[in-house]
Amino acid sequence: MTGLEWATQRGMGALAEKMGIEFTEFSVERAVATMPVEGNTQPVGLLHGGAYVVLGESLGSMAANLHAGPGRLAVGVDINATHTRSATSGFVTGVCTPVHLGRSMTVHEIAVSDEQGRRCSTIRITNLIKSVDA
């Protein structure tokens, strides 16, 4: 089973689905997803900062869980974001790459860009990997 098949089968969760997030590429080394600006804005029409974070956490947590493997669960323990540009229309794309892939911890960076390829937000997420209790 490919990483994208695994992610599609597992699902992203209700929040990511409500926000229109769609995975387009998925592996331990690189995960990519898109999200529409429309429906995820703050009152002045800019993509909400929290929406960037939801996209980043969806990518980073899912990538960490793929790395963790069967019988193990990755859970987020830290996330931060720096927003450097505002998206106002179209779609944004998040590209998630690992900074550290350990046995008990992962760190991923997610670069979110607009349709012109301009970076709008940089998110870093740390996940703790633990065994799933039977």
**Residue 57 corresponds to which amino acid?**
E
Of 25, 29, 38, 57, the active-site residue reads 57
In the annotation, is 29 catalytic? no
Question: In degrees, to the nearest 5, what angle opens at C-alpha 25 toward C-alphas 22 and 29?
Answer: 130
**Residue 66 corresponds to which amino acid?**
L
Residue 40's φ and ψ, nearest 5 degrees, are -125, 30
**Residue 61 corresponds to which amino acid?**
S
Residue 53's φ and ψ, nearest 5 degrees, are -65, -40
Distance from the first to the final alpha carbon of the chain: 24
- Given a contact cutoff of 8 angstroms between Cβ atoms, the answer to whether 99 and 108 are in contact is yes
Active site amino acids: 57
